[in-house]
Amino acid sequence: MKTVYQQNPRTVRNILFLLFALPGLSFASWVSRTPAIRDLLQVSTAEMGIIIFAIAVGSLIGLLTAGSVIARKGARHVILVSTLMIVIGFVTIGIGAALTMMSIVMMGLIIFGCGYGAAEVALNVEGSAVEKALNRTLLPAFHGFFSVGTLIGAALGVGAVAIHLPIMVHFSILALLMAVAVIYFFRHLPEETGKEQVEGVAHKRSAAKQQLEVFKEKRIILIGIMVLGMAFAEGSANDWLPLIMVDGYGVNSLTGSLVYGVFVAAMTLGRFSGGWVLDRYGRVRVLSGCAIAAILGLMLVIWGQHYFVASVGVFFWGLGASLGFPVGLSAAGDEPQGAAAKVGAVATVGYIASLVGPPALGFLGEHFGLLNALIVVLIGIVISASLTRSARPLQIQNTSLQIDRGKGN
């Protein structure tokens, strides 16, 4: 992978903080209006699962094609095009909601999802390059700004619900602001990040094939499974939490959006404090603590019996799910050889889990209720908790004396 920083890497870092926030802003805005959109379309929980699955379909397309496009055009090109796709999809969703046409909403979600999936891959590639350029751990902070975006999006969603702002107006305003921001900052990103230098047969393999090959390594498989459970927990909240509170605890849409705000606030807190906590206690201890917090939180949400207890559970759920994905990406890139393919493969697993897994909850929720459907998410976190040791730094795994002394855990 080629990275040429003609620009100041600190300037690129600051721009990426904003650009990581934009997908979070858009996604949380969509989630905050899902109860209203369901009511406008007059669909069941299972039908809402089908609608949400449209995001997963689009995201899969974006995730699986982004690597090859980045290799040819660079991450900057994909960041611009994918963000504009998010904008177009966002407006289309608003139009579909205004016309109460499920087909248009789903079309908008496919476009939105495709842009969302591609943007996340491109942003992580650019973020990883900035980490190396500055020799600093930045991915948790970048993902923290994604959570800041979700927090802002959730807050704006609560405000929009409170003042009865039409979904079309709400989404169109945000789409315009996002388009202006990405077009303005696009020129400050380096042109060459992610482009592959074709030098010999080995470099002619597709990005998808390279990502599949890295799963021959046991460590990457275990990290991928761990990330899958954590990302599933995050994605389930992002897709369903307002509806879980509305249907499971009988609160109104405004309260459901407020509780979702609690989740994204906990995610934001966890990611911004993550760097300090990781440096102090190490990956394994932090990931184990996160898993325990998520398990406790989900149990309170599922069996809490009262929305206040469930809201406390939502906080622990968000705090517990905050670091699994970014720490998994960092662990996948420990070894310089093939780091880009490994990070890309784990990122793809994480995004697929967070986007494809949650729609299945809609079908389970239709038959067993959304609260009971969360038991599947709980099982996923338990599995992740059992695999946290796979994220140990490689030098720690290869030095038994350091393991015995507890260093790096």
Closest CA to 241 of 31, 4, 6: 31
Three-state SS for 250?
coil
Q: What is the pLDDT of residue 402?
A: 44
Region 162-179: what's the mean pLDDT?
Answer: 92
Each residue's pLDDT tens digit, 171-186: 999 999 999 999 998 8
Each residue's pLDDT tens digit, 271-281: 888 878 887 89
d(CA 403, CA 357): 35
Amino acid at position 29, single letter: S
Under the banding of pLDDT at 50, 70 and 90, the label for residue 357 is confident
Region 300-307: what's the mean pLDDT?
Answer: 93
Q: What is the pLDDT of residue 403?
A: 41
- Higher-confidence residue of 230 and 126: namely 230
Q: What is the pLDDT of residue 210?
A: 60
Most distant CA atoms of the chain, gap in Å:
66
Each residue's pLDDT tens digit, 60-72: 888 778 877 887 8
Closest CA to 385 of 282, 250, 275, 289: 289
Q: Which residues share a beta bridge with 195?
A: 2
138 Cα distance to chain centroid: 16
Three-state SS for 182?
helix
Q: What is the pLDDT of residue 370?
A: 87
CATH fourth-level superfamily of 9-404: MFS general substrate transporter like domains (1.20.1250.20)
Closest CA to 152 of 134, 176, 174: 174
Average pLDDT, the chain: 84
19 neighbors 185 (Cβ within 8 angstroms):
yes
Q: What is the pLDDT of residue 397?
A: 55
Q: What is the pLDDT of residue 203?
A: 47
- Residue 204, pLDDT > 70, answer no
Sequence-distant (≥ 6) Cβ neighbours of residue 98 within 8 angstroms:
166, 167, 168
Under the banding of pLDDT at 50, 70 and 90, the label for residue 405 is very low
Closest CA to 121 of 347, 355, 354, 350: 347
264 neighbors 147 (Cβ within 8 angstroms):
yes
d(CA 85, CA 114): 7
Sign of torsion, CA 114 115 116 118? positive
Token pair 């994220």: residue:
391
Q: What is the pLDDT of residue 337?
A: 64
**What does the domain layout of the chain look like in residue ranges?**
9-404
Euclidean distance between the first and final Cα of the chain, in Å? Answer: 31
Neighbour-count burial for 149-162, b at 16+ CB within 10 Å, e otherwise: bbbbbbbbbbebbe
d(CA 346, CA 392): 15
